[in-house]
Amino acid sequence: MSIAQTAEEPQRSSLPPLGVPGLGALIVLVVGTLALGAVYGPAQGALFLIGGGLGISLYHAAFGFTSAWRVFISEGRGRGLRVQMFLLALAVILFFPPLATGTLFGHEVRGNISPAGVGVLAGAFMFGIGMQLGGGCASGTLFTAGGGNARMLVTLFFFIVGSLLGTIHFNWWVSLPSLPPTALFQTFGAFGGIAVSLVIFAAIAALTVYVEKRRYGVLEQEPESRRHGLERYLRGPWPLVAGAVALVILNFATLAIAGRPWGITSAFALWGAKGAQVIGIDPAQWAYWQTPANAKALAQSVFADVTSVMDFGIIAGAMLAAALAGRFAPSFDIPLRSVLAAVVGGLLLGYGARIAYGCNIGAYFSGIASGSLHGYLWAVAAFAGNVIGVKLRPWFFFERSVIRRIDG
């Protein structure tokens, strides 16, 4: 190694300047945590900070539910799906014991357990199509928008619109046939439920291995990173498994502090309702907003809403992560067909999530972590929707065969 090469090493490993977006995100995270804690209590401030951690983890690990499903459907590569099974396995091991007893660290906790019925099937199927057209799921939309993807701002806006539209018809969907809310730990006990869950996850992982080996002969490996040690965890990219571990731990922290697991899209419906009020529409007349919890959320500031505060944190955390990675560079040069896909995809994502009791986080990740039957039904219907969405993508995008994980 030459003297010149040695002299260059510190410069390559040093952190890039955060710039205005990065400094702004850091200030928002610090000041927001303190302000929310002072006004709404320490728990609200902590949940905002947890949201920031989720945004950083999602961005640095490029943890995409959408792209992992798309790569498996279109290319037969299952590494992303296998990591999702690891994520779910770790989650049920942590979540089932406290959910079975109803307490965690002396506080009452409950899972995301909802009825499994026609509304879940239809909504998750719509959501699955929307994932591929919108370019992301709920978490993917937030972290890529926060990371500077201008197209995802379009998806996010229509995600909010679709969520609001879903509240108009929510009670009709709820009235359709469904099974009562059921969780595996209720049927089999905490450890029996864990065992059943692990068998399901292992079977899905084994299927991806079979498909990938049959097609390619070998399994895809994690790409080598040019960064190592502390620098890699500050600037990214993280190993995908590290991202999964971080998401599970932060979701468990959410359960401990909020008393229920991580969710995203109920906030989008609330933001849409608040926006509707601004333009003279009164959503309080709709049955969805007349339940005590939803009526209270609509009457209060969005900063009093746990899900909204965590979503804001995700956006700020992803912006900070993008600045640390030196990749925050929004481009507004978006092809018209891509914009159209974002509009259609966003509407399907929002409407589908509302009538299916959640998205890839609230229903899939947190629902299955809660042992809810509706979470498994959601996954099957959403995967079917993804198959259709993948077939529709060529109408809107010019794609190569190799698909990047970063798009959600």
- The confidence score (pLDDT) of residue 234 equals 86
Mean pLDDT of 281-292: 95
Q: Is the pLDDT of residue 406 over 60?
A: no
Q: Is the pLDDT of residue 106 over 80?
A: yes
Q: What share of the chain has pLDDT > 90, as a percent?
A: 80
Flag the least confident range among 21-25, 91-95, 104-108, 229-233: 229-233
| DSSP secondary structure letters along 4-36 | HHHHHHHHHHSPPP-HHHHHHHHHHHHHHHHHH
Run of H or E including 187: helix 184-216
Running DSSP on this structure, what letter comes out for residue 281? -
Mean pLDDT across the chain: 91
Cα separation, 186 vs 166, whole angstroms: 30
Cα separation, 238 vs 243, whole angstroms: 7
Extents of the domains making up the chain = 19-219+235-407
- The confidence score (pLDDT) of residue 396 equals 85
Q: What is the pLDDT of residues 324-379, one digit of tens each?
A: 988 887 878 889 999 999 999 999 999 999 999 999 999 999 999 999 999 999 99
Q: Which residues lie below 8 Å from residue 15, measured CB to CB, with a gap of 6+?
A: 231, 234, 235, 324
- The confidence score (pLDDT) of residue 71 equals 96
Q: Is the pLDDT of residue 7 over 50?
A: no
Q: What is the pLDDT of residues 174-204, one digit of tens each?
A: 999 999 999 999 999 999 999 999 999 999 9
Mean pLDDT of 386-394: 95
Q: Which two tokens stand for residue 152?
A: 């995802």
- The confidence score (pLDDT) of residue 86 equals 98
- The confidence score (pLDDT) of residue 13 equals 44
Q: Is the pLDDT of residue 60 over 80?
A: yes
- The confidence score (pLDDT) of residue 147 equals 87
Q: Is the pLDDT of residue 141 over 80?
A: yes
Mean pLDDT of 18-38: 93
- The confidence score (pLDDT) of residue 16 equals 54
- The confidence score (pLDDT) of residue 160 equals 98
Count of H-run helices and E-run strands, the chain: 17, 4
Q: Is the pLDDT of residue 133 over 90?
A: yes
Which has more confidence, 216 or 20?
A: 216
Q: Is the pTM of this model over 0.75?
A: yes
Number of Cβ within a 10 Å radius of residue 335: 12
Number of Cβ within a 10 Å radius of residue 337: 12
Q: Is the pLDDT of residue 403 over 60?
A: no
Mean pLDDT of 37-53: 98
Cα separation, 350 vs 342, whole angstroms: 12
